Amino acid sequence: MIRTGEVVGKADGVLSVVFERPEACTQCNGCLKRDCAHVDIPGEADIGDSIDVEMPGGIIVGASAIAYIVPLVSLLLGLLSGAKLQTLLGVAMDANLFSALCALLGLALGLLAASAVDKTLRNRRQWQPKVVAVHKQTE
pLDDT for the residue numbered 119: 78
Our CA angle for 48, 54, 59, nearest 5°, is 140
Residue 113: its H or E element: helix 95-122
- Which residues make up the CATH 2.40.50 domain(s) of the chain? 2-56+128-135
Global pTM reads 0.58
DSSP H/E element including 19: strand 14-20
Contact 103, 80 (CB under 8 A): no
Q: How many CB atoms lie within 10 A of CB 46?
A: 12
Each residue's pLDDT, cut to its tens digit, for the chain (139 residues) gives 788 888 888 888 888 888 876 666 666 655 555 556 767 788 888 888 888 888 776 777 777 788 889 999 999 999 999 888 888 888 888 989 999 999 999 999 999 998 888 777 766 666 677 888 888 877 5
CATH class entry, domain 2-56+128-135: mainly beta
